[in-house]
Amino acid sequence: MTLRITSLKNSVDRWGPVSQSLHWLIMLLILGMAVVGLSLDSLPKSPKYFWVYDLHKSTGLAVLALVVIRLAWRLYAGTPAPVAGTPVWQARIAAITHWMLYALILAMPLSGWLYDSASGLRPLKWFGLFTVPKLAAPDPAVRDFARAAHEWLFWVLVALVALHVAAAFYHHIFQNDDTLRRMLPRRGSSGSR
């Protein structure tokens, strides 16, 4: 059986497997990043625990790369039209929310990277493989700005994700439309939709 690239792309009425996989993979990674990130503050600042920081930083940079790939794929593979019957104002709010989510999941790793750079810490090795370049020279003002941005942007992300998830379940449970289903793999093998 040949796998056609068109079957991986997004169609007019649903997200294809590449967009779906990236959506759910990034969701899981961000959840893990949040849990580890929030516990960093309470870790003793001793070399014994530095690997936890390094894991958070390396995974965060992997998220940055995945989001860039996801956006490039979205540009190439197109986006489904709004679910039939969606009022224009709702489609607009959904589009704005999606772009804000993208902005935030780019800004989170970038602010973390800037924070790491401006702190003048030891070199960061990406999963121990290669040294990550620093984005800025050591500078306490930039460090404090990036640290605050990393923390505050996270809470904005939490609020937007809550809205986003509530909207997805509202559509699924109360409107009983395809909004959630079209971000999930097809059920059964009929392939009729």
According to the binding rule CB under 6 A, does residue 9 interact with ligand HEM?
no
b/e per residue, 54-70, with b = 16+ CB within 10 A? bebbbbbbbbbebbeeb
The least CB distance from residue 1 to ligand HEM, in Å, is: 27
CA gap 171, 24 in Å, rounded? 18
Between residues 9 and 164, which has the closer beta carbon with respect to ligand HEM? 164
Q: Which of 155, 154, 137, 145 is nearest to 60 (CA)?
A: 154
What is the C-alpha to C-alpha distance for residues 143 and 116, in angstroms, rounded to an integer?
8
Binding-site size for ligand HEM (CB under 6 A) equals: 40
116 lies in the site for ligand HEM, by CB under 6 A: yes
Tell me the DSSP string of 82-123: PPTT--HHHHHHHHHHHHHHHHHHHHHHHHHHHHHHHTT-SP
Q: Print the binding letters for residues 66-105 with ligand HEM: x by CB under 6 A, - otherwise.
A: --------x-----x-------------x---x--xx--x
* Residues at the site binding ligand HEM, with contacts judged by CB under 6 A: 19, 23, 27, 30, 33-34, 37-38, 40-41, 53, 56-57, 60-61, 63, 74, 80, 94, 98, 101-102, 105, 108-109, 112-113, 115-116, 150-151, 154, 161, 164-165, 168, 179-180, 182-183
